[in-house]
Chain A
Amino acid sequence: MIEIKNLTFAYQGRDKPTLRDLNLMVKKREFVLLTGPTGCGKTTLLKALNGLIPHESTGIMEGSVIVAGNDTKRYPMRELTQKVGLVFQSPDDQIFSTKVEDEVAFGPENLCFQQEDIERSIDYALKAVGLSEFRNRATASLSGGEKQRLAIASVLAMHPQVLALDEPFSQMDGKGTKEVLEVIRKLNRDGMTIILVEHRIPAVFRLVSRIVIMEGGRIVLDEDKEKACMRQDIFRRLGLWFPKGSGLDELLPKFLFACPKHFLINLRLASGDSKTRLPGSSSWNRKSSTSIRFISKKRFDDDSKKSLFGQQPVDIGQQEHNEKSVCNGVNCPVSKPDPTIVLEAKDIYFRYEKKDGFVLQGASLQIRRGEIVALLGDNGTGKSTLLLHFAAILKPEKGMVEILGKDSRNLNSVKLAGKVGVVFQNPNLMLFRNTVNEEVEFGPRALKFSSHKLSGLVSETLKALAISNLRDEIPLSLSNGQRLRVATASIASMQPEIFLLDEPTQGQDRVHVESLMNYLKMKSSEGAALLFITHNLDVALRYADRILFMNGGRIVENV
């Protein structure tokens, strides 16, 4: 289906080529996982498949890309778009219509399909992604998973033979990921060739047939998935999530022997499996509580550990068939030296508009000094809204939030500067200075730290987050992982007592997540409290003292 021969591509104005002498063959109906560290050329390779390179990108291309027998250099975009459908990372950046059917119709309209053919294409595409009933819905009303399915439908409407997806799950919760994975799996079963770029390798491992790893514009591994698993050296070297023997496997023994009391959580809960009933939801009942099982340490032996985790990958797509469970990591809520409560929400209710329903409905929690707390839950359950309450950016309509012992109604962001540090979901929006150094010293300067203290703090923070070598770089020109660390450094340099992070693991390589979380763990050991939102259960289990699950605007589980 796809034959790439000696492909080299250099973007205009760049010294080094992004793709170097790359060779790849993909057979019809194959499901290929394309992965590699940030900036290795995965997205560029996808663009070369559907003709964006060379037709719509300026640069020098050598070699050839042949898709379904057509050389992409010779065929125009309008024909190539019907061979390869390309879906991008963030559905919000690609969906521009306000109605579902208008979005799906865009491609067929551009290809001058007749009205009845456009109708047929919309029907086919929406059916393929399970959105037939959403045809007349507003795109803004869709959930994250539904939006990504819509993005897939909008390329399927052009009837491509290959579907290429560029990190489609990076901004999605477990439920959304599962929805989209099911769609992709079904399309593959129906005969479509799939090329998936994804960082979260364990999440998709079971579905793919082959793993291709890129580094520096070259392919460094191209094997069937089982054989690829034998090459853990490559995954480790490139800082990728392990497909097998992942963090959870390594973590379990530590947990089992370190925690005085522990628990097993059905992975369904994290993946948002619709069959799973969450406590607090209308469908919750006593029987459902079996999905969360608390098992004492004594009941485990080595065999049971192996049977639960063994060498199995953490596979979100498999959860509907599998009752695998995982446990909280090395940092169970063992007794902490400082019981001081720094953040407290007391039965809070919040809605953005009077006409809307409540986003937070009786959320209550306490966080102590030095504690690391992970907040999990599906998109739209109120996690970010709750986080913003702890920075006094939002105030509750009912109930009370106390930040460092003070009522949040008497506080605001400026008053909390230096005490509460927030890393927003998109760290790019926190980077506004010309150099990394300026960025990191911005906060301490605004807070009028002495120059002696300031320079020491800045150097220390840059060093701790391994970005000292970037101090003269422009923050926004850095890689994803580097930008996240700079954003974190810019708040850490103010020495806040509380860190709030909104999905710091999103779209990050394992190595970047680990370096960031290790740093925050160090700050926690110094007394800072950390609350972070994540969809990555592995990270939550590995680093958090407590895991909170949100559903329907409140904390439904605190373990």
Chain B
Amino acid sequence: MFKAREIAEPDTGHTFIHNMDPRAKIILLFAMAVLVVSVDNEKILFFLLLVPLLAYPIAGLSRNKYWIAFIFLAIGLWGTIFSQALFYKEWPRSIVLILIPREFPVLGKITGGLYVYKEGFFYGLIQGLRFSAMTASGLLLCWTTEPQKMLLGLVRLRIPYRIAFMVVTAIRFLPILLAEIFTVIEAQKLKGFNPLTIKGLFRGVMNTLTPVLANSVRRAGVLAASVESRAFRAYPIRTYLKDLRYNAFDAGITAIFLIGSLSIATIKILYGLYAREILYISALRWVYEIGRNL
């Protein structure tokens, strides 16, 4: 009844991003993961976030999907920055804002003061950018890949069929789950209880989870019976109606990204060994210099 399916359903399109082999997209996602973990520089991380975001208009995604991505990224980024800025434990740290002074009655004593730290802010920003870059890339993968192709891609990458099937099916049923959550929230509101308030949040979450989970279990039972009735896992292997084609473009782009990400990871590892005074090779001073700035 609600248009929750926008979140998980891919946009049907025929751009080169849609047409890429799903294995290539999964490898690119892996390369992105290596990059965001390796890099500590917030400017480069921001650039890494821009890469998938710039691909959105190229893939011709709908406006709703932009909004969904924006909400995910905003919540992730803000949540990480705010939590790290508040609860940063490392030294040195400098206070930029006092929320609750240590001397404040009761709360001050309980919390020991609540401060926003400059170092925590930047640490949170880096973590948030990492999270956001991966989220944006993951959404791009899901929104430009048909589930059946994704399934086949995972299988061809040696993921066991059962697990690949579970992953893809879970994504397929996500919109229905969200629609049901909205319905349960409305049902509570119509009974005079608003779960979307601070006061009602905890109880509302419990009230919402109970029927939604019960329904999911029931649906999983039906789906399991349905796929078993269609010879799911009948043989250790299975055949496929369609096959994937890994073309030169896919090979080229994955090679560039894989080599690039693994090179950066190697540079960061070497720099880390040098910084911790474990390994120093004078001929690699240029590598250390790059590593310092990444």
Contact = CB atoms under 8 A, between A and B. Distances in A.
Contacts of A101: 241
A188 B70 CA distance: 53
Contact of B192 (A47, A158, A418): A418
Interface string A340-373: 0000000000001101000000000000000000
Nearest to B231: A110
A112 B239 contact: yes
A232 to B, nearest CB: 33
Interface string A416-441: 11101110101011111100000000
Contact of A432 (B64, B207, B223, B240): B207
B62 interface: yes
Interface string A137-167: 0101000000000010011001000000000
B172 A98 contact: yes
Contact of A138 (B1, B12, B62): B12
Interface in B197-255: 206-208, 210-212, 214-215, 218-219, 222-235, 237-242
Contacts of B225: 47, 52, 56, 86, 88
A433 B234 CA distance: 41
Name, among B193, B208, B235, the residue most crowded by chain A CB atoms within 10 Å (CB to CB).
B193
B169 interface: yes
The range of chain B's interface size is: 35 or more
Contact of A429 (B173, B187, B241): B187
Contacts of B230: 81, 106-107, 110, 154-155, 158
B148 A97 contact: yes
A416 B212 contact: no
A52 B229 CA distance: 7
Name, among B191, B206, B238, B242, the residue most crowded by chain A CB atoms within 10 Å (CB to CB).
B191
B211 A421 contact: no
Contacts, number: 179
Interface stretch (A113-121, A460-468, A529-537): A113-121
Contacts of A112: 234-235, 237-239
Interface stretch (A206-214, A282-290, A442-450): A442-450
A118 B234 contact: no
Contacts of B156: none
B1 to A, nearest CB: 6
B241 A85 contact: no
A429 B211 contact: yes
Interface string A100-128: 01100111111111110011001000000
B180 to A, nearest CB: 6
A432 B225 CA distance: 26
Nearest to A139: B172
B148 to A, nearest CB: 4
Name, among A93, A99, A416, the residue most crowded by chain B CB atoms within 10 Å (CB to CB).
A93
Given A77-B231, A418-B192, A114 B239 contact: yes
A231 B206 CA distance: 48
A432 B190 contact: no
B192 A426 contact: no
B178 interface: no
B241 A432 contact: no
B191 A442 contact: yes
A428 B215 CA distance: 7
Name, among A109, A355, A494, the residue most crowded by chain B CB atoms within 10 Å (CB to CB).
A109
A93 B193 CA distance: 30
Contacts of A151: 226
A77 B228 contact: yes
Contacts of A111: 231, 234-235
A506 interface: no
A41 B218 CA distance: 17
Interface string B144-176: 001110000000000000000000110011001
A99 B172 contact: no
Given A52-B228, A93-B222, A110-B233, A413 B189 contact: yes
Given A105-B241, A418-B192, A96 B172 contact: yes
A116 to B, nearest CB: 10
Given A96-B172, A432-B188, A78 B231 contact: yes
Contact of B146 (A99, A158, A353): A99
Interface string A395-431: 0000000000000000011101110111010101111
Given A99-B146, A99-B148, A428-B215, 10 more contacts: A52-B225, A97-B148, A112-B237, A353-B3, A424-B183, A424-B187, A429-B187, A431-B211, A432-B208, A432-B210
19 contacts: A78-B234, A81-B229, A90-B222, A96-B172, A96-B223, A99-B146, A107-B230, A108-B239, A109-B240, A111-B235, A112-B235, A118-B241, A154-B230, A155-B229, A412-B189, A414-B189, A426-B215, A429-B212, A476-B210
Q: Which 5 A-B pairs have the closest CB atoms?
A: A78-B234, A446-B192, A413-B189, A417-B192, A94-B226
